[in-house]
Structure 1
Amino acid sequence: MKTARILVVDDAKFTRDLMVKAVKAEYPQFEVETAQDGRKAQKLLEIGRFDLVLCDWEMPEMSGIELLTWLRENEESRNKDVPFIMVTSLGDKEYVVEAAQHGVTDYITKPFNNDQLVNKVTKQLVKSEIISREELAEIMNRRTRVMGGGTTANVLTSKQGMQTASMQAGRRVRGKAMLMFGENKLPVVIRELNTQEVVVMAKRGQAIPELFEELSVGFIAGQGEQQMRLTANGSVVLMQAQEKRTNAEAVYVGVRFTDMDQKSGQLLSKIIARLSS
């Protein structure tokens, strides 16, 4: 794997340390530098080349949006096109739109967890070809016993299905769902589902989410007054062709849910029971 230089910018030392720790835990060989505000980050960006910037919005001296604007408009900068991820508590749509207009690459809303941050970082480094597709596969195999038990290579072919801390096996269910990412709404068929993750099948030829991409999954179960609806947020942690051939007609997509509160978890359990009956 190639080496990478990452710049972390935040006026809160706790948050800077948290981001550095998360990145170094996954990529100990990477060089990570920090700055406590946009002005200090600006000086670092003027003298050195970076592969990624993780930056807060609200900071003294120079805000994150000011730093981003300066960076994108500075034709002489070697970092003009560096991937720039805004990490901020300003999650309203107007702020996301403003950041996009100024050239932000991606956006993370505080509070976040380590997986969310590392997934965003990995996604950009794959696009930059610092991490190859082969190395990405190795990372996924190393991670967590993804989707509850196996590696990415065997999780969808195992007869036991998904294994998680909350359930001994993911339930085989019959039902449909909707993946919502960017401007896309992708109808899919549910293959396995539990309160932590879902595996769905999507037909090729449609817009497919990327590995590590954050999205929403819409579920519907029942009819009439008994109908239950739930939209759950998650990240794509697995992608695999339905068959081991290049012209496979379908793709399995595995999504791990994030920020699932108790009420949503209880509703999802009822949906699982309904779709399993």
Structure 2
Amino acid sequence: MAELDLSGFTILIVDDNSYMVRLLRQTLAGLGVGTIKTYTDAKEAIEFMKLVNENPVKAGVMQLDFIVSNWQMAPIDGLMFLRWVRTHKESPNRFIPFLMVTGFGDKAKVEESRDLGVSEVLAKPFSVNAVADKVMQIIGTQRQFVQTVDYFGPDRRRQNLPFKGDEKRILTDKHPEVKVIYE
């Protein structure tokens, strides 16, 4: 982490647990993140994201670099918030990296968040090193976004395995951000 300067990054933390907000804020600040905005309610976070898009000066930040959100919150949980970010027409940035923090570590729950377009999942309890690793994965690995009939989000494939047949997810100059696949 020492060679990466995070002082220009702005991270949005959304968690209704004040202890977790403090812990994440202190951890990210310790990693050198320059600006950290926190909200205890996803609805407030959505309004803040819209404000950043409409009037960055009034919002106090020029852009958001990624989101860290708890899964289990009320009244809007992390999955509903993620779904809004990835699919809603009012979402200002469908491509923003999204780190889901959760006590649900089982495979089915991780797959559920993956299928909604999460960038990374951080299971509780976590260490400072685990947070640093996830931040590095988010920042250091630019994953292509994929759109299908029922999915929009980062390419879920993590390995570059040989594939027999026509590759359908190759970056092109025309569409470097999203590859649309309809089957």
State if a TM-score over 0.5 links the two structures.
yes
Distance 1:9 1:96 in 2: 18
User: Paired residue for 2:31?
Assistant: 26
Q: TM-score, normalised by structure 2?
A: 0.66
Is the aligned partner of 1:5 residue 2:5? no
Distance 2:89 2:117 in 1: 14
Point out which structure has higher relative CO (alpha carbons under 8 A, 6+ apart). 2
Q: 1:92 aligns with which of 97, 106, 109?
A: 106
User: Paired residue for 1:228?
Assistant: none
Q: CA deviation at 1:77?
A: 2.6
* Runs of 5+ consecutive residues of structure 2 not aligned to the other structure: 53-62, 143-156, 162-183
Q: 2:46 aligns with which of 38, 42, 57?
A: 42
Is the aligned partner of 1:111 residue 2:125? yes
Q: What letter corresponds to residue 64 of structure 1 in structure 2? A: G
> How do 1:1-277 and structure 2 match up within 5 A?
1=5, 3-28=8-33, 30-48=34-52, 49-127=63-141
Q: TM-score, normalised by structure 1?
A: 0.45
Matched position secondary structure for 1:61: coil
Instruction: Please report the RMSD computed on the Cα atoms of aligned residues, expressed in angstroms.
Output: 2.0
Distance 2:10 2:136 in 1: 13
User: Paired residue for 2:177?
Assistant: none
Distance 2:25 2:91 in 1: 24
Q: CA deviation at 1:86?
A: 0.4
User: Which of the two has greater strand per residue?
Assistant: 1
Q: What letter corresponds to residue 29 of structure 2 in structure 1? A: K
Q: CA deviation at 1:127?
A: 3.3
How many residues are treated as equivalent by the alignment? Answer: 132
User: Are residues 125 and 183 of structure 1, via their aligned partners in 2, closer, same or farther at CA, if it must alter by over 3 Å?
Assistant: closer
Q: CA deviation at 1:183?
A: 7.3
Distance 2:51 2:136 in 1: 25
Which entry has the higher C-alpha Rg, 1 or 2? 1
